[in-house]
Amino acid sequence: MNRVAILFLLFFPLLGAAQEDAFAEDAFFIRKIYDEALTRSRCYDWLNFLTRRIGGRLAGSPQSAAAVEYTRQVLDSLQLDSVWLQSCMVPYWVRGDKEQVRIVNSLKMGTVDLNGLALGNSVGTGTMGITASVVEVKGLDQVDSLGEALRNKIVFFNGSMDPTQLNTFNAYGKAAGQRVWGASRASRYGALGVLVRSLTTRLDDIPHTGSTVYEEGVTPIPAIAISTRDAELLSRLLQEEPVRVFMRNTSQNLGEVPSFNVIGEIKGSEFPEEIILVGGHLDSWDVGTGAHDDGAGCVQAMDILHLARLMGYRPKRTIRCVLFMNEENGLRGARAYWKWSDEKGEYHMAAIESDRGGFTPRGFTADGHEEVFNEKFRKVIEWLPLLEPYGLNFRKGGSGADISGLKGQKGLLFGFEPDSQRYFDYHHTPIDGVDVVNKRELELGAAAIMSLVYLLDKYGI
């Protein structure tokens, strides 16, 4: 309670008596949230089940259906006002056989197998695979300048994440274009396939998957991520001799299948039409078990409702937990939700997404419609003295993919922002498991989000 005491001393002289009382009440309630989250949270157990018992939850997969049912049951057990599934159609992509990426007949090195992982949505090479000469590029622009020289080649995108960015998401944002658009761009000039350097600042043997998108009108060509260490090797070899690579994947898009968002809510007692959404995405990639991305966000969102119940907290506004389906390779769940919510004329006063991993909280990014954002953000900033003792801050910035489409409702959109240093060690890889999630860090995230929900609910914006 030491920090709370310090807060009193710091801020009491500035406040009137009524404000003092409110500040004291809020400071104590937030401290209580943290006490509860650090002792009675169930989010780590839920994450354990979601990852170890169910596993990777690619949209459309049997595991994704299991995750829908499991989380629905958990929400059902919390005695909420309502729990329901919201249907959506999702693309069902399957990886197929273990990918092969092989340097063939190098003069210096002979034949070398590289660690490869097909990008999500990638078409397959056909069962015989593709063998072709490799051309290295650093990014999309270089593809355009090389143009026809890429015909019948395998294009190797070797742009790397900038390690000097303190926030690794900034480095990711700059480097992700080659993964998303590389195949389409190279296909314009007749390339046969693409290899993409994995998106991580680490130098290791672990390939990172993630979505690739085929632009309308281009011939889809296969795309495989290779590990950063293998990217370095391939690049060095290309400086010394022409290199031919054999690549093979049997990935396929199996069309659309039905799936669901999972939703639970506690109805507001005074302003039920003002919705505070907390959410994450329930799907993950098929490799690994999607612990940080985004099992962590889902169980934190569920824990908000759980903590509210534990603490006997009756919200004035409606608190709704939404676990979105298909964020990774389609955003279909989110789109279905936005459409449904807009058609009902709903108003999301605030939405908070947790989709940057289950690490120690640092704060929230905030975003919103330009007509209202600055005024609303100013209001939120006033809560900082209550949140800073917990290491939380606000900054302007994108919120989360699944809630971004709610901007038109003119509420505030928040992205929960934990420490970013380790996220891209695990992102979209086989090692994103619950063993690399720290229980306390995960719980602190739930407490941070619940604290913001409490202030949003109490004061409105």
β-strand pairing of 317-324 with 271-281 = parallel
Kindly tell me which residue out of 438, 458, 459, 460 binds a copy of itself, with binding defined by CB under 8 A.
438
How many residues bind a copy of itself (CB under 8 A)? The answer is 24
Q: Are the C-beta atoms of 230 and 222 separated by less than 8 Å?
A: no
Kindly tell me which residue out of 214, 246, 260, 390 binds a copy of itself, with binding defined by CB under 8 A.
390
Total Cβ atoms within 10 A of residue 79: 10
- Cβ at position 384, least distance to a copy of itself in Å: 14
Q: Which is nearer to a copy of itself, 131 or 167 (CB)?
A: 167
Q: Which is nearer to a copy of itself, 103 or 437 (CB)?
A: 437
Q: Which is nearer to a copy of itself, 401 or 431 (CB)?
A: 431
- Residues 147-176, mask of contacts with a copy of itself (x by CB under 8 A): ----------------xx-x-x--------
Kindly tell me which residue out of 109, 419, 431, 459 binds a copy of itself, with binding defined by CB under 8 A.
419
- Cβ at position 421, least distance to a copy of itself in Å: 5
Q: Are the C-beta atoms of 93 and 250 separated by less than 8 Å?
A: no
Kindly tell me which residue out of 439, 458, 459, 460 binds a copy of itself, with binding defined by CB under 8 A.
439
- Cβ at position 295, least distance to a copy of itself in Å: 18
Kindly tell me which residue out of 179, 185, 356, 422 binds a copy of itself, with binding defined by CB under 8 A.
422
Q: Which is nearer to a copy of itself, 136 or 425 (CB)?
A: 425
Give the binding range for a copy of itself (CB under 8 A) out of 174-182, 254-262, 327-335, 420-428. Answer: 420-428
Q: Are the C-beta atoms of 41 and 302 separated by less than 8 Å?
A: no
Q: Are the C-beta atoms of 275 and 110 separated by less than 8 Å?
A: no
Q: What is the DSSP code string of 409-427?
A: G--EEEEEEE--TTHHHHT
Is 69 a binder of a copy of itself (CB under 8 A)?
Answer: no
State how far the Cα of 302 lies from the Cα of 354, in Å rounded to an integer.
11
Write the single-letter amino acid at 302.
M
- Cβ at position 420, least distance to a copy of itself in Å: 9
- Residues 12-51, mask of contacts with a copy of itself (x by CB under 8 A): ----------------------xx--xx------------
CA–CA distance from 216 to each of 61, 99, 184, 451 (Å)? 26, 26, 9, 44
Q: Which is nearer to a copy of itself, 135 or 161 (CB)?
A: 161
- Cβ at position 435, least distance to a copy of itself in Å: 11
Backbone angles phi, psi at 433, to 5 degrees: -125, 170
Window 355 to 384, contacts with a copy of itself (CB under 8 A): 360, 362
Q: Are the C-beta atoms of 91 and 327 separated by less than 8 Å?
A: no
Is the bond preceding residue 204 a cis peptide, omega within 30 degrees?
no
Q: How many residues does the chain have?
A: 461
Nearest to 336 by CA among 428, 409, 261: 261
> And the tokens for 439?
């229980």
> And the tokens for 30?
């937030």
State how far the Cα of 76 lies from the Cα of 224, in Å rounded to an integer.
40
Residues near a copy of itself, by CB under 8 A: 3, 34-35, 38-39, 163-164, 166, 168, 201-202, 360, 362, 390-391, 419, 421-422, 425, 438-441, 444
